[in-house]
Amino acid sequence: MPSEDSHYNWPSFRGAGHHHPLFVADPDEDNFYWNIPRARRSLLLDLLRRSRVDAMFAGHLHRNTFAEYDGLQMVNSGPVGYPLGDNPPGTGSSR
């Protein structure tokens, strides 16, 4: 990592990706098939917060959802081929 006085322009947006979403609607939601178990979720949320990550992207849900916690956006994107729910197949955005 360059020193703070270097001329490198660090990005102003920090994102992370994972197949499974940390949470679907709320970080305190119960454990279920669609999210990361609460004990691990808490550790990952703390790590992402300390790393100043702006958004976490996932796709396991096969539908588009958006939630936010403490400045972290949780974006779940639908699939290209087999959607679940009302989202059409193909590319798109959650918001």
Residue type, 58: A
For residue 94, what pLDDT band results from cuts at 50, 70 and 90? Answer: very low
- Single pTM value for the model: 0.75
For residue 90, what pLDDT band results from cuts at 50, 70 and 90? Answer: low
Residue type, 35: N
pLDDT at 92: 58
> Taking the CA of residue 3 as centre, how many other CA atoms within 13 Å lie in the half-sphere pointing to its CB?
2
Q: How far is CA 17 from the centre of its chain?
A: 6
DSSP bridge partners of 58: 76
For residue 2, what pLDDT band results from cuts at 50, 70 and 90? Answer: low
**pLDDT tens across 29-78, in order?**
999 999 999 999 999 999 999 999 999 999 888 888 899 999 999 998 87
For the cut 90, the answer to whether the pLDDT of residue 26 exceeds it is yes
